[in-house]
Amino acid sequence: MRALVLGANGFIGSNLVQYLTEQGVQVRVLTRKGLTRANSSVETVSGDLVGDDIDYPALLSCCDVIFNCAGEIHNEQLMHRLHVDATAKFLDAVAVATAQGQSIRWVQLSSVGAYGPSRAKSRVVTEDMPTNPVGTYEITKTLADALITTREMPESFSFSILRPSNVFGPTMSNNSLRQLGQMVKKRRFFFIGFSPATATYIHVDDVVWALYRCATDPRAKGQIFNLSNDCMMPELIAGMARAQGVATPRLVVPEFMVRVAVALVSPLTRGRITQKRVDALVSHTTYSAKKAADLLDFAPGKPVPESIGELFG
């Protein structure tokens, strides 16, 4: 198998490239610069997904699988160009290649953000639920999914879409979990509300395994999979405490008191303390990975409470 990886320098993409080479897969990457994690066995092609300098026929030559892990999480003005426009242009090129007889599997890395935030106290999200994204990132990623699922393509084209929840691992650049861990270490953390919230996380190794499975398992063709390894928030916090050698927090503050306090101080913190963050700490949303378990034999290999300590080593 020869795989083309888009977004190979990102958190998930770089871990995927490492995994693919370990499996003996021939890997080609499109990048504006060299790989941040050097790998002599990877073929690098210079190019920008949002530019006009890509030689698509050469890039797609001999590739059986395309992993689209490209994503912009900071610059909202770039999100539509990268997530939607670049996907559309790439699909145009893939349509030409597959019409000429080349067989290509497209594996799209999406997000459970496609389903939008919960409007109820609790919910279980499955792949059958309608999409309702909120926010530029979530909306544009969902639009990209729709391009893939609705476009008429030659029979030699197939796709799989993977929607993980909050992905974590030691090489992640997002520091939100580390900041939460610091609060636990400094004994500043408290639980919000008396009904334990759900922590919707999954280790990057499990996501990479599922991406590979989507590319190699015939049962994944034409399917969308949610992926999460949910646990209860107290379990996550206890794991952080163990990893840092401190006592597990026990203090619980009523939710209404926290929301009043946040409303008062939020303007002074420049958006660092928001009601949205409170929402995440009281959420009872669960993302079911049953479909991935049934069709792909997915079983998380990295329990969240035990592996969260990798962030604090």
Task: Give me the residue spans of the domains in the chain.
Answer: 2-174+201-230+285-304
* Cβ atoms of 208 and 12 closer than 8 Å: yes
- What pTM was computed for the model? 0.96
pLDDT per position as a tens digit, 108-166: 999 999 999 886 679 999 999 999 999 999 999 999 999 999 999 999 999 999 999 99
pLDDT per position as a tens digit, 260-271: 999 999 888 777
Q: What is the CATH number of domain 2-174+201-230+285-304?
A: 3.40.50.720
- Can you give the pLDDT at residue 120? 65
- Can you give the pLDDT at residue 65? 99
pLDDT per position as a tens digit, 89-124: 999 999 999 999 999 999 999 999 999 988 667 999
254-258, 260-264, 277-281 — which is least confidently predicted? 277-281
User: Would you say the C-alpha torsion 73, 77, 78, 82 has a positive or negative sign?
Assistant: positive
Decide if pLDDT at 272 tops 80.
Answer: no
Cβ burial, residue 77 (10 Å; 0-12/13-18/19+): exposed
